[in-house]
Amino acid sequence: MQRYAFKMFLDPGAAHEYRRRHDAIWPELKTLLAEKGVSNYSIFLDPETNTLFAYLERPDRHGMDDLPLDPVMRRWWAHMQDLMAANADGSPRTAPLVEMFHLD
């Protein structure tokens, strides 16, 4: 099992709407993420910087690399794009984080 963390960048003033949309996450998106091996997925906000910190777990042989090809994922990105920094394809701009310590 891999632990994977990354950050994303929320627009100022968008925290309430970001939470509201995630509270109503689409069932088909939850199913898609589970099918690709994503589990224990959490997103945290640093309100001082509007940086989102995401953490998830995935098996060594996960299907996350296929997510950008899926229409459900692409619709979710379009749904969220007005709240955060995004790439030209609509995906959120992310930066992977390097694990520096883990305590079992």
List active site positions.
22
Q: Can you tell me the distance from the alpha carbon of 49 to that of 66, in angstroms, rounded to the nearest whole number?
A: 30
Please classify residue 15 by burial: count the beta carbons closer than 10 Å to its beta carbon, then call 0-12 exposed, 13-18 middle and 19+ buried.
Answer: middle
The annotation status of 26 as a binding-site residue, yes or no, is no
d(CA 72, CA 42): 19
55 is in an annotated binding site: no
Residue list for the binding site for substrate: 18, 41, 76-77
